[in-house]
Chains A and B, each alone.
Chain A
Amino acid sequence: MRAPEEELKRLLLASELDLLERIRKRCDDLQARVGDDPALKESIRRVIVEVLRESGLHDHDRLARALAPLIVSSMREEIRNSRDMMVDALYPITGRLVAAAVRNAFTELMEKLNRKLDEGISVERWKAKLQAKATGQSEAEILLNRNPPFEIDEIFIIHRPTGLLIERVDAQGDAEDTIDSDLVSGMLTAIMAFVQDAFDDAEGGELRTLAFGESQLFLQTSPNVILAARTNGTAPANFETTLQEMFFGILERWSDFIAEFDGDSAQDQKAAFNSDLQARVRDLQKARAENFRGRSWKARAVIAVLLILAVIWPGLSFYDDYRASVIEDRARGVIASQEALTGYPITLRYDKDTKALIIEGLLPSSESRQQLTAELNRRLPQIEKRLQLGSLRQARGDEVGRGKLASLRDELGRLKSVFTQALADLETKTQSSNSDIAQEFSKAVGTLERTLQQNQNLTTEDIAKAIGDLESVILRRQDRTRRGLAAELEKLELARRTLEQRLTKLETDARAPLQRLKAWIARHALFLSDGSEFRDPRRTDALLGDLAALIKLAPSNVRIRVVGYTDSAGSERINKELSIERAKVAIQKLRDLGVSNDRLIPVGRSAERSLAAGGRSEGNNRRVEFEIAFSGE
């Protein structure tokens, strides 16, 4: 049973009490949700994502403005704190990006270069073009490889035993000394000692280069000194050699200084060493500008040899010509000094190839020949002489000449008697100045006779001239003795005609051997089976025998071209050689038969002038023909 007061309160304040109860309940609920930090955190956690999303949707800008500074600063912080992680995470992506960018830049550079190249013309460019064609590489690539950027940054000279720096030269001229050179020197020395110990190269091998990124350290070493050159870019082929030369130069000049080096900056000669080194580095930079091509001794040597040849060759040939002309002049003098030889056809030339003096022609007698030979031997003792001289008596030795000349003499004798008769008649008829005429006649006849005796090759003109002389002698007297002389003149005319006939015949006979030779040549050739074998050796020998006799009979200045031919099978070069070979075989046989080599000229015409008509067998094309050579050929 509740207390009456309670009952009363309930009745009076029922609604208020309910309200109070409800309020308390809500307060408890609120307390549970936001009453303390964990509860509040829990409550917010449940809704915050939703809240952010909704406010992001409805009030995006304001939210962004509110959050941006926070996010940015925290990101910055995050990046700073976990740089390595970021780098690791980003490396594959950035790496690819960088590679792509570099590739792009490279391609762009190539294109630019190509464009530039298309615009300009230079020898280098043509060389690169050719090389590009040959190798299939791009022209720009070749040029880029040819002159890769290369720079020498600095040079260290290090005292090896102590690892102390003797001198450092900044090749670029910027005094930027990022790391203490003394430390670099010491470290380098230590590294070299370490490498040597670690790898223990029994043959005394040394560390030659150190590479880091684009930079490279080139090392030259001796027991006392290390030269280290820090470079950037791809070193040209000759750089190490040039550096080595520089190093040797330093060693040569400064070995004493280096051996006595004690780390004292005030050491004697230190300044001199420094300036010398500066000069050497300048030289090195100069060499770099020329891409370390160096002095090309090869080109110089080739030019020198060519120059020497260019001087010596014409000099020698000029000397040869001069010598030949001196010899020829002297020989001409010898011939001119021989009175007996005046008027005889004698030609001479000095053959530079065989180094022989060749004298051709006709002499009055074998005595004059001996005389000439003796005189030539006296005046030109060292010179080989080849005399192709015929003396008249000798020439008459051959049957043709002897017979003709004997009959000519008879003829002349008869003519003389006719003239004597005519003269006698004239004398009796004109009775004046007979002796005069007689003298002139006998003189003219004497001249004619002498000429005939001396010269086998008597021409019609000579005879005609002699007769003309006679005629004129007679004609001079004609007006005085015209009538009386008419009959005599008829007799003389008759005699003249007879003489003329005889002379024509004589001339024809003298020419006959040549005509026969020509006729023979026109009708004969030597055929070969294969190579240099004659098809019918016995017939060939017979033919060559005839030919040799004819050549020997022909005047000595007549020369024969011996022409070899081949069929058209095989290469032109081989056929040419074979055709000349065939000609030479024929010439050898003719020489064996006593024909002078000087009169035979070998010629090869391979498959020219084919004898095979209409595609028939070419067998007959393998042959040797003969031709009369042109005079002076």
Chain B
Amino acid sequence: MSSSRSHSRVNRDASSAVSKKVCVIGDFAVGKTSLVRRHVLNEFSPHYQATLGVNIYKFSDSIDLPDGESVLLNEIIWDIESGDPASGKLSTYLQGAAGAVIVGDIARENPLPSMIERARLFQEVCPGRPVVFAFNKVDLISNADDGEDGHALEEEFSAVAMRTSAAEGTAVQDLFLHLGRRILEIGA
């Protein structure tokens, strides 16, 4: 439970602004906080510091919808501690979220079960809300063909899975942009 920072990529005087709660969840030390900090503050620290409770960030982005309309989306990002998905605490934090980023560590042996567990929990707490999957730490695998490709996830949750690197910034913006667009498309 700690500090919160905000960053905006656009001027806030856009015609209309929509605020949405976005949750970032995933197993212990997969790089949730690093992903968020790369996204919001564009910074990275190799030192690990566990998140206690929730960190909250804000990121404003102007998103172009397919119909040509441009909407200012204020993402209130809840960077939530890994915790135990079965404990109920996680569900409390997830409540009211418009979308979620589910993060896994691509360098680990089998990241899928914990991601699936969390994705199912999110669908249970916020049915019908979009999720995106991030296989993080892609910079740590030497062969690009190694590791999980996430097809199983994409099929079960009809969601995009991306390989990201918080350390190098790979696909981080795309990840959040994609989620933001999905949120606006579905509408709250």
Contacts and interface: CB of A to CB of B under 8 A. Distances in A.
A161 B96 contact: yes
B98 interface: yes
A56 interface: no
Interface stretch (B52-60, B107-115, B153-161): B52-60
- Select the residue from A160, A161, A182, A262 with max chain B CB neighbours within 10 A: A182
A263 B4 contact: no
B92 A193 contact: yes
A263 B17 CA distance: 8
B56 A263 contact: no
Contacts of A193: 92-93, 95
B42 interface: no
A180 interface: yes
A264 B92 contact: no
A191 B57 contact: no
A163 B53 contact: no
B18 A180 contact: no
A196 B17 contact: no
A263 B93 contact: no
Nearest to B88: A197
B20 interface: yes
Given A164-B19, A263-B19, A183 B88 contact: no
B95 A194 contact: no
B21 A190 contact: no
Interface residues of B, number: 29
B172 to A, nearest CB: 20
Interface string B88-110: 11001101111000000000000
Interface string A156-169: 00011111110000
B98 A190 contact: no
Contacts of B4: 179-180, 183-184, 186-187
A294 to B, nearest CB: 36
Nearest to B90: A197
B78 interface: yes
A182 B16 contact: no
B16 A163 contact: no
Contacts of B18: 262-265
B16 A264 contact: yes
Given A164-B19, A186-B76, A197-B88, A262 B188 contact: yes
Given A161-B95, A265-B17, A265-B19, A186 B78 contact: yes
A266 interface: yes
A263 B53 contact: no
A186 B15 CA distance: 23
Given A186-B21, A194-B1, A162 B74 contact: no
Contacts of B56: 163, 183, 186-187, 190
B6 interface: yes
Interface in A229-279: 262-266
B7 to A, nearest CB: 10
A119 to B, nearest CB: 51
How many residues of A sit at the interface, in one of the four size bands?
Answer: 20 to 34
Interface string B72-88: 00101010000000001
Contacts of A162: 20-21, 76, 95-98
B96 to A, nearest CB: 3
Given A190-B1, A263-B98, A182 B19 contact: yes
Interface in B133-183: none
- Select the residue from B6, B16, B53, B56 with max chain A CB neighbours within 10 A: B56
B2 to A, nearest CB: 9
A228 to B, nearest CB: 15
B69 to A, nearest CB: 12
B88 to A, nearest CB: 7
A180 B74 CA distance: 12
A190 B19 contact: no
B58 to A, nearest CB: 5
Nearest to B74: A182
B21 A164 contact: yes
A182 to B, nearest CB: 5
Contacts of A262: 18, 187-188
A271 B17 CA distance: 14
Contact of A263 (B6, B20, B54): B20
Contacts of A160: 96
Nearest to B5: A183
A185 B19 CA distance: 12
Contacts of A263: 18-21, 74, 98, 188
Contact of A197 (B78, B89, B187): B89
A212 B133 CA distance: 39
A597 B36 CA distance: 102
B89 A165 contact: no
Contact of A163 (B1, B5, B76): B76
Contacts of B21: 162-164, 186, 263
A182 B17 CA distance: 13
A163 B57 CA distance: 12
Nearest to A179: B4
A494 B183 CA distance: 142
A186 B74 CA distance: 12
Given A162-B98, A187-B56, A266 B19 contact: no
B90 to A, nearest CB: 10
Contacts of A164: 19-21, 76, 96
A187 B77 CA distance: 10
Listed from nearest, the 7 A-B pairs whose CB atoms lie closest are A161-B96, A162-B96, A263-B19, A183-B4, A186-B56, A262-B188, A266-B16
Given A187-B54, A187-B56, 6 more contacts: A162-B21, A164-B21, A182-B58, A187-B1, A190-B1, A263-B21
16 contacts: A159-B96, A160-B96, A162-B76, A163-B96, A164-B19, A164-B96, A182-B76, A186-B4, A186-B76, A186-B78, A190-B78, A190-B93, A193-B92, A262-B187, A264-B188, A265-B18
Interface of A: 159-165, 179-180, 182-187, 190-191, 193-194, 196-197, 262-266
